[in-house]
Amino acid sequence: MTADVKEFTNWIDTVKSLEPLGENLMKIWGRSEPSAADHQDMYRLALSAIANAYLGHVFVDPRRPTWSPLWNAAMNMGGPVPDYVYMLADVEPEGIYRLSGYRGTCLFVDITQRSWEILGVSPDMGGHAPSHDLNDLTLGPDGYFSVILSGERPEGYTGDWWPLHPTTVKLMMRKASYDWIGEVDARVAIDRVDDVPPASREEIARRISNVAAWAQGMIKFDIELARYYHDTHTINDLEISKKIKELGGLPDQIYYDGFYEIDDDEALVVDTALPATCRYWSILVADDRFSTVDWINRQSSINGHQARMDPDGRFRAVISARDPGIHNWLDKADNPSGMMQLRWNRASDSPDPIVKKVPFADIRKYLPADTPAMSLEERKEQLRIRREGAQLRILW
């Protein structure tokens, strides 16, 4: 994701580097006879990737670090989990950093060390990248914490300390919430303790020169990842991911991935037991570029707090374009194909889900007879609460 370093001398040079982005991405996407709406949708995604490149690459400075928004509804890349708030900070492996703030009451906060590639893991990191949980820190009565992150523990320092891996250049934070309205997100600050000057003009120029490559690389990666699941996993099924360990997903989390292809008069019925114990679980649907379906205005994901469980203890949901009139509807919008993903976090076991493609008209035949119907008014209220909760998260 790097371009040739260039000192931009005028605005036109900067803009020209972005000119081919939209059409390059259309070619990578590869839709046959794309419509005007397809073009518009891809151009919107391209603009969001440019914003992501600025916030996650140009704006951040490992010598004057701050947390920057990474993936969210506005920068919808890599199948963001709607329950997570993703943040990014750049660091230098020789630096000494202090992370501090207030834990809040959200489900968990994970901070993972990364190499240059956002989803990549350096070979010498050894499997999963180092990951840290705020729950492991010493918390004050008000939830305040402070931890040093450095290659070596500072001499004479006796407080909380996390080792900084010698290849780490980014920290990715996931703030997970089950109850979007009732839980309070963590507030986390980052400060560089050792005294160094800010990034040089040459470094800023290098980062600006990378914007087009960053934006194209992020979307290209996601399109190719969705294509990989199409080619290697059974269509319309959820299987333990064949890729996630290589990409560096959360440790202690089991991912089930699948690629769906259903018409508007068809549906998928997902039926699964839950692990005996599990800190967090959820399921989501995305499009064929691995952009999660608009989760602010549509119920494209369901977590362990939002789900309605059947009396037999199983979770059953319907993936479809049309509203099936039940609580556990996963709205795929008008996407004829795309991704679905289920995850068990810190689970005692990993039950395999069962997925069946059925005619939309026959959905009720594949659900328990006592599955309650959801009226249009109840659906409107469900989505109102969802929209409110999504906006109450600390995203920016």
> Which residues does 175 contact at the CB level (< 8 Å), separation at least 6?
84, 85, 87, 104, 106, 109, 185, 186, 394
Residues 282/70, Cβ–Cβ less than 8 Å: no
* Mean pLDDT of all residues in 158-178: 96
The mean-pLDDT minimum among 7-21, 134-148, 295-309, 372-386 falls in: 7-21
- The number of beta carbons lying within 10 Å of the beta carbon of residue 348 is 9
Retrieve residue 345's tokens. 């976090």
Q: The tokens of 202 are what?
A: 């040459």
How far, in Å, are 124, 241, 341, 358 from residue 236 at the CA level? 36, 14, 11, 11
- HSE at residue 388, side-chain half, CA atoms within 13 A, is 9
Q: What is the residue type of 178? A: Y
In this predicted structure, what is the pLDDT of residue 121? Answer: 42
**∠356-361-365 over CA atoms, to 5°?**
55
Among candidates 21, 74, 16, 76, which has minimal Cα distance to 46? 21
Report which of residues 83 and 127 the model is more confident about: 83
Question: What is the tens place of the pLDDT at every residue in 256-266?
Answer: 999 999 999 99
Task: Determine phi and psi for 180, rounding to 5 degrees.
Answer: -65, -25
pLDDT at residue 76 tops 70: yes
Give percent of the chain above pLDDT 70. Answer: 94
Given this model, what pLDDT does residue 120 score? 44
- Cβ-count burial 258-295 (b if 16+ within 10 Å, e if not): bbbebeeebbbbbbbebbeebbbbbbbbbbbbbbbbeb
pLDDT in tens, 199-250: 999 999 889 988 999 999 999 999 999 999 999 999 999 999 978 766 767 8
Q: Which residue ranges form the domains of the chain, and what is each CATH number?
A: 11-213 (2.60.120.1600), 233-392 (2.60.120.1600)
For residue 180, what pLDDT is reported? 98
Specify the length of the chain in residues: 396
